[in-house]
Amino acid sequence: MSDITTIEHVHCLIIGSGPAGYTAAIYASRANVKPVLYQGIQPGGQLTITTEVENYPGYPEGVQGPEMMIDFEKQAKRMGTDIRFGLATKVDFSAKPYKVWIDEEKEIHADSVIIATGASAKWLGLESEQRLNGYGVSACAVCDGFFFRGKEVAIVGAGDTAAEEALYLSKLCTTVHMIVRRDEMRASKVMQDRVKNTENIKIYWNSETDEILGEKSVEAVRIKNTKTGEKTEVPIKGFFVAIGHQPNSDIFKGFLHMDEAGYIQTIPGSSKTNIEGVFACGDVQDKIYRQAVTAAGSGCMAALDAERFLGGL
């Protein structure tokens, strides 16, 4: 006997509820394609764990991340989107209509699918890191570096993203303490050279983060040398984790083309995937920019692409 309790057919299914998903919903609703949106495990996406957002157009005084996503949701609802709580747990894109299972108990048959499942930052796994997330700990220097102008910060990571973010922070902060696990970086040679030649970036080789210190906000980081075991406390106000992101794309493997890191590949200049009628937008397909405004823009693209596709059915 099947565990599936209900089957429902929808015209346009949107999976995910960050800026990309909600923007897709706004445009799809206005186009009268009657979108159904499932919010996923983290309604509102990564912005719900962000404090103040100052770089999104239209909020001259800045806005709290969770508040902004409530605004997005309200607008999508006002336009007529059917917004539901639930997590897509499995898909079958081998034939039309496309099948998506929600919470392993509801089966959705969709004429078109917009994937906006986002990406999740990789974390170090420290208790203090999660406790102080949003209070000095961040996984996005471009998003939050502005708040630490004229202050000392630390960043952990050794790839191109870490190097780029360290350089970005070096233009705002007095000193950037860069924590690198090995005696070399994984970043490209040109990025390494830029970091090494920037006076206010101090690199700690063969080092790892032992603990982030502070009760209500970040006050210091304790760095441990992996060769000597020596521990050093460095006073800082901001701690940035730049060890990569993981796109939330696992359930689409085997159906959609992805790069080696799992980001869904779209046809350049569009949100189209390798499967007709399945579109991807936001951070699940963007490993370069990863900003709320670019995610929203790609959500608009996905809705317009879906509208054109559905109009041709």
- The residues that are catalytic are 140, 143-144
Phi first, then psi, for residue 305 (nearest 5°) are -65, -40
> In angstroms, how far is CA 109 from the centroid of its own chain?
27
Question: Would residue 275 be called left, alpha or beta, if left means φ above 0 and alpha means ψ between -120 and 50 degrees?
Answer: beta
CB 69 within 8 A of CB 44: yes
First to last CA, the chain: 34
Dist. CA 255–CA 92, nearest whole Å: 8
Tokens 């059917």 identify what position? 82
CA angle, 305 then 73 then 31, to 5°: 30
- Bridge partners (DSSP) of residue 64 are 52
Dist. CA 200–CA 167, nearest whole Å: 9
The 3-state DSSP class for residue 306 equals: helix
